[in-house]
Amino acid sequence: MWNLFGKSLKSRLLLGTSRYPSPEVLKNSIAFSGSEIITVSLRRNSGGEGNPFWEMLNALKVNVLPNTAGCHSVEEAVTTAQMAREIFKTNWLKLEVIGDDYTLRPDPVALVEAAEILCKDGFEVFPYMTEDLVLAEKLLEAGCNILMPWASPIGSGQGIANPFALKTLRDKFPEVPMVVDAGIGSPSHAAFAMELGFDGVLLNTAVATSIDPVKMARAFALSIEGGRQGYLSGLMEKRDFAIPSTPVVGTPFWHNV
């Protein structure tokens, strides 16, 4: 069980809702994954009662995490966040302030400024960030209670490009909830993120654009659970030499005379 801001969650998989071939496939993917937190872009979905997409999410009984995808300035992100809170009736917000259109790398200065404004306004901000340690410190100082570092650029499927930086970030703030967000391309990438000690994984493209999104969503759910259990159990340390799994000291052996 994962306790996140007063909610008890069984799943540590967060799913995006864009690029699915149909609403039915999206619905089944969410259901088979067991995901309990779904990200929604205000720019793609008007939300509100009477909207088919919104009604479908309500029927699934999931927690909606609106995001400010596509925003490039502090003012734009703050305005979008305020609209999202009114429409989706939640203080949760995935904050994105894009600084580079090619890599979709967040603008660190604008991100911290927007986070500070929104935290003071009562939002529970989930900031989409790089794995930068100093940026993490600034976001925590701004009032964020969770961090969402990327594995690699959005939609790239490259997996964890800088394991050392992510592990350093995780070790620096052991009590801060952290979700790896963006760049996850396969279930093994997600399992690796969980083995590093992260609390969850947010992904979209790897499921939505697969041949069978429903099966892929389930595969990610299983890999995340496996990675989490592996981390909690204590992973074997790597060695530069072999150690036999069956001890030979004190055991008889035969040889030709």
94 is annotated as an active-site residue: yes
Give the pLDDT confidence score for residue 42 in this predicted structure: 76
**pTM for the full model?**
0.89
Catalytic residue among 94, 138, 167, 238: 94
pLDDT at 44 over 60: no
pLDDT at 206 over 80: yes
The region of weakest confidence among 43-57, 82-96, 184-198, 230-244 is 43-57
Joined tokens for residue 91: 């203080």
Give the pLDDT confidence score for residue 254 in this predicted structure: 58
Residues forming beta bridges with residue 37, ordered by sequence position: 14, 63
pLDDT tens readout for residues 58-91: 788 899 999 999 999 999 999 999 999 998 889 9
> Position 171: which residue type?
D
Instruction: Tell me the C-alpha distance between 156 and 127, whole Å.
Output: 19
**How would you label 35-47 residue by residue, b for 16+ Cβ within 10 Å and e otherwise?**
bbbbbbbbeebeb
